[in-house]
Structure 1
């Protein structure tokens, strides 16, 4: 049964996954820190960058038989107050069991967030900390405005900046062995 957001807002100051599931299918929200955060539709340029990167990543992963690459909108449940819709995720063959009928239950191996004005703060701050805490092994922050990519790798429970490329150059994944992309091919 779906409920409209106004009804939820009256009943709760802090939302849970149960509340989130009561939203109508396709509602433009993510559950971040117990708040329902509206995420408007991305711009065409954002979607072009996402599509180019996803095609390269998914093609490589499928060809090598390494796992699966999925894209938003797709719920990634991290705990009762944190359910995100990352732009692109990679899940290795060994961890495919986290894919459930209605959600991904747990941290993907690799997450790509493509910054946009409406969600950049969450991607760089709130979600970054939760991804780090919940065990995402590699986190890519793609900035279409600056044509840059930062790659953070988890070491001893903390994200460490592994690579940063702006305008041109190659970014390599440490989690998807052998995968690299020239960033001028995605912007």
Structure 2
């Protein structure tokens, strides 16, 4: 008598383990490994420092997210009319010349520069320096870290950068080769010659 064997039960994949990393411990990865790390953790906001150090950023709070949405929308409306470049929101990472991979809260790149980036490189962290970036400081962001990031942008070739701080009601304007300009409670910001014709209304972004 032949006994029928039951088919083997499928083995469920093991749940991924969660590792807590103390604040004093730095993780370092190579560029290709960093892309794989980001792909495996799509819900995390990650950046890579020039020396390979990995930064894990907390999700934005509801208030900060709403302010940032206004920033992206207002820049996007201007860009749709001007047709001069491409707008990128906070999940878009770019590889800077020093090897860091940074993602600003909003970035803008002149169209002819972006068009020269090969399409296969656009699918990863494109090796191009944005012409313009803006960072909106949230309560979890240390001011010193935000300023260091803006200084890095300017040193790597970003032509205009704004550090918008709703907590102090100030805006720091960063330009290459110049000390930051600090504005107290400005109502608007000019895009200068980088974003020609663009004026950002800061209502709902810097102030309520």
CA–CA separation in structure 2 for the residues paired with 1:122 and 1:37? 11
Determine the structure 2 residue equivalent to 1:9. Answer: none
Q: Which residue of 2 aligns with 1:149?
A: 171
Question: 2:145 matched to which residue of 1?
Answer: 122
In structure 2, what is the Cα distance between the partners aligned to 1:73 and 1:105? Answer: 15
Asked whether 1:28 is paired with 2:45, we answer: yes
Determine helix, strand or coil for the equivalent of 1:105: coil
Aligned to 1:110: 132
Q: Deviations over 1:83-129 (max 9, x none)?
A: 1111100111121134712223221000111112444333211x223
Q: What is the Cα deviation at residue 151 of structure 1?
A: 1.7
Return the alpha-carbon distance in structure 2 between the equivalents of residues 78 and 36 of structure 1: 15
The CA distance in 2 between the partners of 1:46 and 1:52, in whole Å, is 10
Q: More strand by proportion, 1 or 2?
A: 1
Distance 2:97 2:180 in 1: 25
Q: Any gaps of 5 or more consecutive residues in structure 1?
A: 7-11
SS of aligned partner of 1:70: strand
Which whole-Å CA distance do the structure 2 matches of 1:80 and 1:161 have between them?
21
2:32 and 2:178 mapped to 1: Cα distance?
A: 30
Offset of residue 28 of structure 1: 2.7
The structure with the larger Rg is: 2
Considering Cα pairs closer than 8 Å and 6+ residues apart, tell me whether 1 or 2 has the greater RCO: 1
Residue matched to 2:198: 179
Write the mapping of 1:1-187 to structure 2, written as runs, cut at 5 A.
14-23=28-37, 24-26=40-42, 27-33=44-50, 34-79=52-97, 81-96=99-114, 97-98=116-117, 100-120=122-142, 121-125=144-148, 127-154=149-176, 158-162=177-181, 164-174=182-192, 175-186=194-205, 187=207
Work out the number of aligned pairs and report it.
175
User: With structure 1 as the length reference, what TM-score do the two structures score?
Assistant: 0.81
- SS in structure 1 of the partner of residue 54 of structure 2: strand
Structure 2: unaligned runs, 5 residues or longer:
1-15, 20-25
Confirm or deny: 8 A CA contact 2:46 2:55 kept in the other structure: yes
With structure 2 as the length reference, what TM-score do the two structures score?
0.74
Residues 105 and 4 of structure 1: is their aligned pair in 2 closer, same or farther, counting only changes over 3 Å? farther
